[in-house]
Amino acid sequence: MLSMSNLSKVYRTEMVETYALRQFNLQVRPGEFVAVTGPSGSGKTTFLTIAGLLEAFTSGTYTLDGVDVSGMNDRQRSKIRNEKIGFIFQAFNLIPDLNVLDNVEVPLRYRGLPAAERRKRAADALARVGLAARSRHYPAELSGGQQQRVAIARALAGQPRLLLADEPTGNLDSTMARSVMDLLEELHAEGATIVMVTHDPQLAARAQRNVHVIDGQVVDIAAELRLDPVLLRPTV
């Protein structure tokens, strides 16, 4: 589904080179639910933006759904992004002047789908997340948890091959966060491939697999504990 090999991302200025990702390797199989964790500044968000074809990488290879995206231009990446990837953001990114149904429908307009099909997909997605009765409401009339469910419905309406979630519970209280995680687990059980960036180890534990990123690289914490005598030193 998703395969990154020796992938690097370098930000350059006249004086400094900064590696956001360095020799980054990750494979996500179809139907997996993978949580990506790590400290602030470790490269998690850079990984997600590259995975979502929102940003180019400097070197290495990236294959998405069997297609090598390395040499694609912006237009080609946009097409694949619109057809195969669904995004769930921490800040919801809903349009305040549009009602819930129209918010879910917006990405489908870029595909050139007929209006009737767009409406049906949007309505079905809202029903899937339990918000069919709120389709005519506006974002400001919804709770944070409901707004995040609208964002999930917007992603689902595109029938993506891959769902990318960036701290999807970061702006929610614990009760609403559990509700959103329950929904993501349901989607995974139905076959969705999900990659979720989170700082919360409890949420990460609910994923099928946990990938830890430090200094722009995937790190095997268990291996570090086995090999590093400082980390193995007992505390008193």
Using 50, 70 and 90 to split pLDDT, how confident is the model at 220? low
Asked if residue 232 has pLDDT above 60, the reply is no
Sign of the torsion formed by the C-alpha atoms of 79, 99, 125 and 185: positive
Q: What percent of the chain stands above pLDDT 90?
A: 66
Predicted local confidence at residue 103, as pLDDT = 96
Predicted local confidence at residue 11, as pLDDT = 92
Task: Give me Rg for the CA atoms of the chain.
Answer: 19
Overall number of domains in the chain: 1
The parent domain of residue 180 ranges over 2-232
CATH number of residue 37's parent domain: 3.40.50.300
For 21-70, write each residue's pLDDT tens digit: 999 999 999 999 999 999 988 999 999 999 999 999 999 999 999 899 98
Phi-psi category of 157—alpha, beta or left, where left has phi over 0 and alpha has psi -120 to 50? alpha
User: Going by C-beta distance under 8 Å and a sequence separation of 6 or more, which residues neighbour residue 149?
Assistant: 129, 130, 131, 180, 183
For the entire predicted model, the pTM comes to 0.85
For 83-125, write each residue's pLDDT tens digit: 899 999 888 899 999 999 999 999 898 888 899 999 999 999 9
